[in-house]
Structure formats: structure tokens, C-alpha cells
Structure 1
């Protein structure tokens, strides 16, 4: 069936299924990202003014609190945006 041939009711039902699937995929991404984080981990992410280095101070269900490396700012960040830093020795 072509989308042009669908009724409003059919389109609304299709939209509901699409939105539900998007939500499921986003939830999977969030859980995957959260599984790689822990309090005290050094991370980086792209802030409004460029790259930010910081330390994870709290992990919530859908967001992570990151304290900037210099201790001046605290950020509430989506876990998918964080990249763990590897210690260089």
C-alpha cells in the first residue's frame, strides 16, 4: 500500500507505531551508553562553546551530571553524548 493511498486513520496508526519504535531505539541507546559510565569516570562531550572535559558525579535514568575538570561548572548531559577518556600513561 502506498502512503498516498492511506486514510487519516491509517496514517495516524502508522505514526503511532513509528513513534513507539523510535522511543524503543532511543531507550536502547541510552541504556547502552549508561552501561559504559560510572561515577568518577573522566569524560568529554561537545558543549556549546567547544569540547568539555569533566568527571561523572551522578548517573540518573536519562541523564548524567558532569563536573567540569576545573570544578567551575556542572552539566546535565544525555549519556549518548558522553565519551569516556582513556588514561594516558
Structure 2
């Protein structure tokens, strides 16, 4: 694709620039939306804000460019979806006793 911008007037260049910027914003919003749809409200997620440790919380809402996460400590964060990771819930065993069994013991 070859576009000859040398022959365009200043007004045409400005109009072209506006269309390019609009198209880039649209593509970015589509990419963000696609990333956002990998997560569901109510799902446990984690993220690492700069200068802080890993935060774990629950995704509660989709926003235009971010998602809202409420951390386990009660803080509310608006986070870009590309910074999120899913957190797998670990369920305890059926007995729930929490005892360690030595499998290598000799009798």
C-alpha cells in the first residue's frame, strides 16, 4: 500500500491524521475489550502495582478501559486487563484435618 501524502494539502493532512488517530483508538479499545473478556465478574485475580507487592482480589466491574478489582484487604483498584492474572482457588481435602502423613515410615 502506497499513499502519496506529498500531494495532500494541509487541511487534507489534518483530516487524514484525525482519521488515523480515531482508527488507532478504535483498535486499542478492541484489543482492551478482548483482554477484558478473558475475565468474569466475581473471578479471583491478581496484579502487581509498581512499588507494592502482589495484590489479590475479586473482579467486580468492567469499565471502558479498565476493570475494577476489590482486593482481599478491601481496597478498590481500577486495573488495565493486561496486568491481571487469574488466581486458582485451592480447595482443602475432604477430611480438612490438615495432618501430614509420613508415607516413607518403616514398620
* Fold shared per TM-score above 0.5: yes
| Aligned CA-pair RMSD | 2.5
TM normalised by structure 2 equals 0.62
From the two aligned structures, give the one with the greater strand fraction.
1
4+ residue runs over 3 A deviation: 86-89
Matched, 1:52 2:52: no
Name the count of aligned residue pairs. Answer: 87
> What is the TM-score of this pair, normalised by structure 1?
0.71
Partners of 1:61 and 1:73 lie apart in 2 by: 20
**Separation (CA, whole Å) in 2 of partners of 1:87 and 1:79:** 20
Residues in 1 aligned to 2:10 and 2:16: alpha-carbon distance in whole angstroms: 10
Aligned positions of 1:1-89 closer than 5 A: 1-2=4-5, 6-50=8-52, 51-69=54-72, 71-87=73-89
The structure with higher relative contact order (CA 8 Å, sep 6+) is 1
Runs of 5+ in structure 1 lacking a partner?
Answer: none
User: Which structure is larger by alpha-carbon Rg, 1 or 2?
Assistant: 2
